[in-house]
Amino acid sequence: MGMNKNTVLAWATFIMIVVGCALILLGAFRYDDVAGWGFASVGIGFFAIAWVFNALKGRV
């Protein structure tokens, strides 16, 4: 079972969405101070990179 480039990008997108959700949830529920804002903003950044990976599928 080989993985081509599109499959790798799909898995990377899925993993980054899961990690982004985890970071946003950590920022919302675990850290109530300024660190929570940092966790949430990094989670949103993970979503942006996952969006780029999703857009690259079929083009590389």
- What's the whole-number average pLDDT of the chain? 90
Mean pLDDT in residue range 24-42: 91
Report the predicted TM-score, pTM, of the whole model to 2 decimal places: 0.84
Mean pLDDT in residue range 21-43: 92
Mean pLDDT in residue range 32-51: 92
Confidence band of 33 (pLDDT split at 50, 70, 90):
confident
Sole residue written with tokens 């675990």: 30
pLDDT tops 80 at residue 1: no
Per DSSP, the three-state class of 52 is helix
Counted residue by residue, the chain has a size of 60
pLDDT (0 to 100) of residue 20: 95
